[in-house]
Amino acid sequence: GEPIKLLAIDLGASSGRVILGKYDGIVLSVEEIHRFDNTPVSILEHLHWDVLRLFHEMKTGIRAAAREHDQLRSLSVDTWGVDYGFIDDGGRLLYSPHHYRDQRTVACRSELEGRVPPAEQFNRTGNQPALINTVYQLFADWQQNPALAGTADTLLMMPDLFHYLFSGIKAAETTIWSTSGLLDAASGKPSAELLERLGLPAALIPQQVPAGTVIGQVLPALQEELGIGPMKVISGASHDTASAVASIPYVNKEGAAFISCGTWSLVGMETSGPVINDKGYEFGFTNERCFGGTNRLLKNITGLWILQETGRCWQEAGEPLSHIEMVRLAKAAGPAMARIDPNDPLFGTPGDMPERISQYCRWTQQQIPQTKGELIRLILESLAFSYSDTLKKLEELTGERISVIHMVGGGIQNELLCQLTADITGREIIAGPVEASSIGNLIVQLVALGKLDSARAGELVTRSFPCRSYQPAGGISQ
Ligand code: LFR
């Protein structure tokens, strides 16, 4: 019969896409309908997401899909973690949500940490304290904008916000909330105690739903505007990392780690429950929820962001380089003479990365890269070394030996990064799928619609999408 048709809307920190998925009961196929930039805007010295433009682009994608295909059954949005918008009591969006790289949290850090020390935050929530976390942002909003207490009725995490704009339904999906630093790790519910000590009203948080919940339908007026019929709105694994991990074609979950490569690199393993101990805290690990309720023990590494910003700099200087060209130059450059810690705060905000990398090398008394190729190679090798270091710590934390690493996400198109990771970790890499978040998004929708048994998802991905294996070449070691 007719395949089931669904739309995945996957919003990353630098671009978004509307993907059409078709499932005929055997194979899942995906088609990119619309891709758009996600460019944050700085206004009045604060960094914001352009949500109206993003919603406009989503609509453009849906309209384009509807022109070619009828009977689009459902849609679901996944986004990066931690960010949110406010809705007032009339259902209106209050203002353009802040970007997690906005610096307003810095001034409130010590006040927050005086009330709830970082180690206690970790022990309660399983989340690694970080200035970008929802809890830091929300606390700063409450301190710096007292009027909010009177106007903000509901807080919607980014994907929940888009689901609300599509359906009119306000919900709090658990995977995205598990990035907030506000959920109690054990119960998965907002921590009443934490909220109270920070003076934040629990009433801001709408009804919680698990990943894979049909929350409503596209609003009638929007159906008309978009030229679509009735379409379900599904709260999927709405955190992009949760979606990406839902797409991993595990051969055997035991001994398998993952690296999700996008703007960020997320390095971790699925575990049955949160792993909360002093070492995990010290090593900088965090615990987030997966689709199906299991736990993801992982570390956030500032990933290809550094390369993206580097590329942006060169482009602004009138010397743009394609990705292919970047990889070619980095290969030709040979092994890097220096290394950076990608998680150094120096690389956390937008700016002139080539200059900051030189600065870092100067401070650490290393050779400064002289050519573009050397600089790119330094970034990629530094990432691979930090993956390797993180995987060793994962082994120490879990007591498991990692035998295979699944790399997923757009970053795996950089085959030099995959090969360097195989070489430096000495482990086999299975790379794929590339469109991991979109594919995971579609899988969760299929499960929510009762069309797929979640235990079969890995097989479906294996049948449907090519994976590439990289073997360690040997010779390179840490
Ligand atoms: C990846 C990601 C990470 C999250 C970071 C910031 O896109 O969602 O999981 O920690 O973005 O939100």
Task: Determine the residue of 240, 261, 408, 437 to mutate for testing ligand 1's pocket, defined as the one with the most ligand atoms within 8 A of the Cβ atom.
Answer: 240
Cα of 354 to ligand 1 centre, how many Å? 23
The ligand 1 atom at the shortest distance from the C-alpha of residue 262 is: 7
pLDDT tens track, the chain, 478 positions: 799 999 999 999 989 999 999 999 999 999 999 999 999 999 999 999 999 999 999 999 999 999 999 999 999 999 999 999 999 999 999 999 999 999 999 999 999 999 999 999 999 999 999 999 999 999 999 999 999 999 999 999 999 999 999 999 999 999 999 999 999 999 999 999 999 999 999 999 999 999 999 999 999 999 999 999 999 999 999 999 999 999 999 988 899 999 999 999 999 999 999 999 999 999 999 999 999 999 999 999 999 999 999 999 999 999 999 999 999 999 999 999 999 999 999 999 999 999 999 999 999 999 999 999 999 999 999 999 999 999 999 999 999 999 999 999 999 999 999 999 999 999 999 999 999 999 999 999 999 999 999 999 999 999 999 999 999 985 444 3
Cα of 264 to ligand 1 centre, how many Å? 6
Contact 386/317 with Cβ under 8 angstroms?
no
What span, in angstroms and rounded, lies between the C-alpha atoms of 460 and 291?
A: 16
Cα of 348 to ligand 1 centre, how many Å? 13
The ligand 1 atom at the shortest distance from the C-alpha of residue 286 is: 10
Question: To which H or E segment does residue 264 belong?
Answer: strand 264-271
The ligand 1 atom at the shortest distance from the C-alpha of residue 240 is: 8
Any idea what the Cα angle at residue 358 is, between residues 357 and 361, rounded to 5°? Answer: 85
How many other C-beta atoms are found inside a 10 Å radius of the C-beta of residue 181?
28
Q: Write down the pLDDT at residue 475.
A: 45
Q: How, if at all, do strands 15-23 and 4-11 pair?
A: antiparallel
Any idea what the Cα angle at residue 307 is, between residues 319 and 31, rounded to 5°? Answer: 95
Task: Determine the residue of 175, 300, 349 to mutate for testing ligand 1's pocket, defined as the one with the most ligand atoms within 8 A of the Cβ atom.
Answer: 300
Cα of 428 to ligand 1 centre, how many Å? 25
DSSP state of 78: E
What span, in angstroms and rounded, lies between the C-alpha atoms of 162 and 87?
A: 12
The contacts of residue 84 (CB under 8 Å, 6+ apart) are 97, 134, 137, 138, 155, 156, 157, 158, 161
Contact 229/375 with Cβ under 8 angstroms?
no
Q: Write down the pLDDT at residue 474.
A: 58
DSSP state of 25: S
Verify whether residue 240 is a known catalytic residue: yes
Cα of 332 to ligand 1 centre, how many Å? 32
DSSP state of 144: H
Alpha-carbon distances, residue 45 vs 98, 276, 331 (angstroms): 11, 37, 39
- CA-nearest residue for atom 12, ligand 1, is 81
Q: Write down the pLDDT at residue 392.
A: 98
ipTM comes to 0.95
> Which of 78, 153, 240, 423 is flagged as catalytic?
240
Q: Write down the pLDDT at residue 419.
A: 97
Strands annotated E in 374-439: 404-408, 428-431
Q: What is the pTM of this model?
A: 0.96
Alpha-carbon distances, residue 269 vs 275, 331, 340, 401 (angstroms): 11, 30, 24, 11
Give the helix ranges, DSSP H, for 32-108: 51-68
Name every protein residue with a CB atom under 6 angstroms from any ligand 1 atom. Answer: 12-13, 80-82, 100, 179, 239-241, 262-264, 266, 300
- CA-nearest residue for atom 6, ligand 1, is 81
The ligand 1 atom at the shortest distance from the C-alpha of residue 300 is: 10
Q: Write down the pLDDT at residue 252.
A: 87
Cα of 310 to ligand 1 centre, how many Å? 20
Question: To which H or E segment does residue 195 belong?
Answer: helix 192-197
Task: Determine the residue of 179, 238, 308, 435 to mutate for testing ligand 1's pocket, defined as the one with the most ligand atoms within 8 A of the Cβ atom.
Answer: 179
Q: What SS3 class is residue 320?
A: coil
The ligand 1 atom at the shortest distance from the C-alpha of residue 241 is: 9
